[in-house]
């Protein structure tokens, strides 16, 4: 990494689970692992040189809006560099989906780069790393890459050297069984079924079988761009997904600032609301600990929370580029030993945190 990361800052917040107020406990109880990971020469996340600071980015965005250039699939989208998402496999390898030289970089828990790829031509098209948007790893080690602005998700072999399957139609958007519109997140169940949040254009969550065949969707009306809602099974930008041991799905409804919980067949169960703006959510592969982790854009924080009632159990982080700070925190995973990995977009880095009192 080009920045040195040391120390820990913690904050406490007041949060709500459903309609009941609860208070965050303690100061987080996590410590930063310094200088994690180790990047080889010539490798970085996003831009080789750091992106502009927030004030300059806001001014550039205002100028684009004045010209009618909104991004997100419209005219001349502007690159948001850095890390767009994280995934972790059953062997604790961390997959970093980023907008740098190698779209997918894989690390072990010690922070050593063990594999990189995702830059090949898959199904007739090379991945546009500028608008890659996260991905996933199934229980057989196959990798799924969300190429958001191409409206497709590609499944490739564990070595990322061969194309296996595609969901969505390349460069064609829509909201039928064979099209997506700016997809955002993915989860792969143990039987191979695939759950996709089709969220930046459409407002729906889709269940596919292992072969990529459409099974069902959840959304208001047809789940198209105009089909926004606040009720159960309705969305305003469904974003990313976590899965527990029973394969319940914890799905971020980003602009409604909540999680909606469904069973593995996409049947609605309940919602979890807090004082947050969740951008990513993760539960360990084992999934039996009863806790999840949120990457919260509201004040650039990480939360540990109870899956049962949404109670905030720990919180740490703040806005910035220093140790234990985030600039657009957009990815989070936890490994089998309880270490938490949080990554940001404009910060162009991933930081590892371990429970206090444990070694790293």
Are β-strands 349-355 and 340-344 bridged in parallel, bridged antiparallel, or unpaired?
antiparallel
* More confidently predicted of 54 and 176: 176
Q: Is pLDDT at 1 greater than 60 in this prediction?
A: no
Q: What pLDDT sits at residue 54? A: 84
pLDDT of 329-346, one tens digit each? Answer: 999 999 999 999 999 999
Nearest Cα residue to 269 out of 247, 302, 291, 293? 247
* More confidently predicted of 176 and 48: 176
Mean pLDDT score, 8-12: 33
Pick the CATH number of 14-56+78-355 from 3.90.740.10, 1.10.3720.10, 2.120.10.30, 2.60.40.1120: 2.120.10.30
Which of 102-106, 207-211, 233-237, 353-357 has the weakest average pLDDT? 353-357
pLDDT of 109-155, one tens digit each? Answer: 999 999 999 999 999 999 998 889 999 999 999 999 999 999 999 99
Q: Is pLDDT at 357 greater than 70 in this prediction?
A: yes
**Positions of E strands within 4-142:** 14-17, 20-23, 30-32, 83-88, 94-98, 104-107, 113-117, 121-122, 125-126, 132-137
Nearest Cα residue to 86 out of 106, 112, 100, 72? 106
Per the rule left: phi > 0, alpha: psi between -120 and 50, beta: everything else, 309 is alpha
pLDDT of 234-268, one tens digit each? Answer: 999 999 999 999 999 999 999 999 999 999 999 99
* More confidently predicted of 21 and 107: 107
pLDDT interval class at 27 (50, 70, 90): low
8 A C-beta contact, residue 241 and residue 195: yes
């Amino acid at each position: 990494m080009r920045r040195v990361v040391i120390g820990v800052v913690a904050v406490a917040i007041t949060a709500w689970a459903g309609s009941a107020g609860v208070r965050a406990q303690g100061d987080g109880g996590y410590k930063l692992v310094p200088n994690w990971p180790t990047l080889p020469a010539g490798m970085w996340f996003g831009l080789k040189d750091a992106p502009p600071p927030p004030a300059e980015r806001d001014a550039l965005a205002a100028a684009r809006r004045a010209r009618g250039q909104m991004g997100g699939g419209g005219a001349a989208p502007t690159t948001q560099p850095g890390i767009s998402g994280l995934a972790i496999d059953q062997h604790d390898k961390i997959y970093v989906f980023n907008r740098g030289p190698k779209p997918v970089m894989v690390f072990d828990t010690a922070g050593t780069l063990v594999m990189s790829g995702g830059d090949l031509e898959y199904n007739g098209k090379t991945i546009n790393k500028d608008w890659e948007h996260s991905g996933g790893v199934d229980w057989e080690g196959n990798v799924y890459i969300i190429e958001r602005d191409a409206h497709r998700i590609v499944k490739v072999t564990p070595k990322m050297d061969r194309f296996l399957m595609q969901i969505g139609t390349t460069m064609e958007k829509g909201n039928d069984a064979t099209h997506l519109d700016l997809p955002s997140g993915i989860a792969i169940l143990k039987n191979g079924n695939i759950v996709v949040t089709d969220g930046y254009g459409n407002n729906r969550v889709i269940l596919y079988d292992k072969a990529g065949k459409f099974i069902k969707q959840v959304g208001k009306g047809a789940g198209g761009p105009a089909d926004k809602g606040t009720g159960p099974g309705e969305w305003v930008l469904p974003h990313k997904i976590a899965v527990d041991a029973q394969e319940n799905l914890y799905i971020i409804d980003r602009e409604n600032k909540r999680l909606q919980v469904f069973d593995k067949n996409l049947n609605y169960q309940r919602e979890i609301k807090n004082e947050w703006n969740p951008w990513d959510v993760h539960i360990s592969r084992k999934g039996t600990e009863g806790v999840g982790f949120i990457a919260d854009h509201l004040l650039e924080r990480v939360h540990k929370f109870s899956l049962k009632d949404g109670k905030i159990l720990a919180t740490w982080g703040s806005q910035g580029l220093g140790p234990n700070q985030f600039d657009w925190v957009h990815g989070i995973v936890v490994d089998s030993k309880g270490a938490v990995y949080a990554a940001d977009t404009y910060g162009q880095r991933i930081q590892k945190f371990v429970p206090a009192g444990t070694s790293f």
